[in-house]
């Protein structure tokens, strides 16, 4: 087992304390010791790395990863052949690791086996990348987020980044196929969204029966489930059926926020601030006014009103979106800060 001793560093240990001078000993894949005094003697055969005063911190965790997404629109993503797409995904994984992300919870892959194959190659040591919980495409319904099919063209079951299925039996089939292929997670698109959805963000196209069918397979296959839930009803739907990770929740009303609080011991909320940040800052050059964002009903209903963690992340990334509604938190929710 490889041993490393990293000396002469400022340690940021992730507990909230101030960085301190110290050394870190790593045995194999595990941090074995953190010292605040002089570096301990190196074990025989250990590799000693002089940090030269740099800051050393634990690896970052990406909780809303889409490693297989590329800088292209949905139609081009659909047309990209699996071979080229796999190479692009491997390159993205390397970039993530180089940027300090050592773990990733996938919020979906644009093709069914991209994450599964990437995870196997990373674990085998053949390609560099973060530890990964693999997912398949986002499971959606006709007209839902990810379905960019056009009526006059041949129908694709797996366009863009999604897998289109309607009705409980079709949903079960997709979930069972993904379980067979080796995913760790499933992702359900419960609510609508902008872009490739014919349903807006505050509507919920996926039905009770469809969500129940997915959860039935997930429990049998011991898979975790995450869900795209912008609308208040989608948050309630996810909570009723035991979804563990709820993304966005930005149109959650008081009823949904109360339900999230009540489930805080079993549910994580992943707000994903990349889109609001883009809307609040670069979009201003195209006529989007910051005061309008600050006073929007969506921002006033955002879970930041209940979560100090969410609020601090929001104010750091997107102050215009919450300036008018600084939270006075009454309770805590576990929040993941994925960048997506």
CATH of the domain at 29: 2.30.40.10
If asked whether residues 165 and 195 sit together in one domain, one would say yes
41 lies in some domain: yes
pLDDT in tens, 49-104: 999 999 999 999 999 999 999 888 888 999 999 999 999 999 999 999 999 999 99
**Domain stops at, among 19, 43, 58:** 58
If asked whether residues 39 and 75 sit together in one domain, one would say no
129 lies in some domain: yes
Spatial contact of 306 and 257, defined as CB atoms under 8 Å apart:
yes
338 lies in some domain: no
If asked whether residues 181 and 252 sit together in one domain, one would say yes
211 lies in some domain: yes
pLDDT of amino acid 283: 63
Residue 231 has pLDDT above 60, yes or no: yes
**Domain stops at, among 58, 77, 99:** 58
If asked whether residues 48 and 83 sit together in one domain, one would say no
If asked whether residues 45 and 82 sit together in one domain, one would say no
If asked whether residues 163 and 267 sit together in one domain, one would say yes
- CA atoms of 23 and 21, how far apart (whole Å): 7
Provide the mean pLDDT of the chain. 85
If asked whether residues 224 and 236 sit together in one domain, one would say yes
Q: What share of the chain is helix, strand, coil (3-state, %, to 5)?
A: 35, 20, 45
pLDDT of amino acid 281: 66
If asked whether residues 107 and 37 sit together in one domain, one would say no
16 lies in some domain: yes
224 lies in some domain: yes
pLDDT in tens, 188-223: 999 999 878 899 999 999 999 999 999 999 999 999
If asked whether residues 115 and 49 sit together in one domain, one would say no
pTM over 0.75: yes
If asked whether residues 124 and 138 sit together in one domain, one would say yes
pLDDT of amino acid 222: 98
Kindly indicate the confidence band of residue 226, based on its pLDDT and cuts at 50, 70 and 90.
very high
Q: Which residue has the higher pLDDT, 215 or 300?
A: 215
- CA atoms of 90 and 115, how far apart (whole Å): 10
Residue 43 has pLDDT above 70, yes or no: yes
pLDDT in tens, 123-153: 999 999 999 999 999 999 999 999 999 999 9
- CA atoms of 4 and 24, how far apart (whole Å): 8
pLDDT of amino acid 282: 65
281 lies in some domain: yes
Angle subtended at Cα 94 by Cα 93 and Cα 96, rounded to the nearest 5 degrees:
65
334 lies in some domain: no
Query: Which CATH number is 282's domain given?
Result: 3.20.20.140
Q: Cα 185 to chain center, whole Å?
A: 12
Instruction: Please report, rounded to a whole number, the percentage of residues in the chain having pLDDT higher than 90.
Output: 71
Residue 312 has pLDDT above 70, yes or no: no
Q: Which domain holds residue 23?
A: 3-58
pLDDT in tens, 151-182: 999 999 999 999 999 999 999 999 999 999 99
Number of compact structural domains in the chain:
2
pLDDT of amino acid 207: 98
- CA atoms of 320 and 292, how far apart (whole Å): 9
If asked whether residues 47 and 69 sit together in one domain, one would say no
The DSSP bridge pattern shows strands 131-133 and 101-106 to be parallel
Mean pLDDT of 310-331: 34
If asked whether residues 238 and 311 sit together in one domain, one would say yes
Residue 325 has pLDDT above 60, yes or no: no
CB half-sphere exposure, 222, CA atoms < 13 A: 1
pLDDT of amino acid 270: 93
């Amino acid at each position: 087992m490889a041993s490393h001793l990293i000396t002469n560093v400022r340690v940021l240990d992730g507990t909230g304390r101030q960085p301190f001078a110290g050394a870190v000993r790593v045995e194999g894949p595990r941090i074995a010791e953190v010292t605040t005094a002089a570096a301990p003697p190196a074990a025989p055969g250990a590799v000693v790395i002089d940090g030269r005063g740099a800051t050393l911190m634990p690896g970052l965790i990406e909780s809303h990863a889409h490693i297989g997404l590329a800088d292209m629109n949905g139609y081009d993503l659909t047309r990209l052949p699996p071979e080229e797409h796999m190479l692009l995904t491997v390159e993205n994984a390397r970039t993530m690791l180089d940027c300090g992300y050592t773990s990733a919870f996938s919020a979906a892959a644009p093709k069914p086996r991209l994450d599964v194959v990437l995870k196997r190659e990373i674990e085998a040591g053949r390609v560099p990348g973060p530890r990964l919980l693999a997912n398949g495409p986002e499971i959606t319904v006709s007209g839902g987020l990810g379905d960019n099919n056009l009526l006059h063209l041949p129908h694709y079951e797996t366009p863009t980044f999604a897998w289109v299925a309607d009705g409980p039996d079709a949903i079960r089939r997709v979930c069972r196929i993904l379980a067979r292929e080796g995913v760790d997670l499933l992702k359900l698109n419960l609510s609508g969204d902008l872009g490739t959805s014919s349903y807006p963000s505050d509507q919920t196209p996926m039905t009770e029966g469809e969500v129940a069918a997915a959860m039935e397979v997930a429990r049998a296959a011991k898979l975790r489930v995450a869900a795209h839930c912008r609308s208040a009803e989608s948050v309630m739907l996810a909570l009723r059926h035991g979804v563990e990770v709820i993304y966005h929740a930005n149109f959650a009303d008081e009823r949904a926020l109360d339900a999230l609080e009540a489930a805080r011991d079993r549910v994580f909320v992943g707000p994903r601030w990349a889109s609001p940040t883009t809307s609040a800052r670069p979009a201003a050059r195209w006529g989007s006014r910051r005061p309008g964002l600050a006073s929007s009903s969506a921002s006033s209903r955002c879970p930041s009103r209940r979560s100090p963690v969410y609020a601090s992340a929001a104010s750091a990334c997107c102050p215009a979106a919450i300036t008018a509604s600084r939270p006075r938190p009454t309770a805590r929710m576990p929040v993941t800060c994925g960048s997506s």
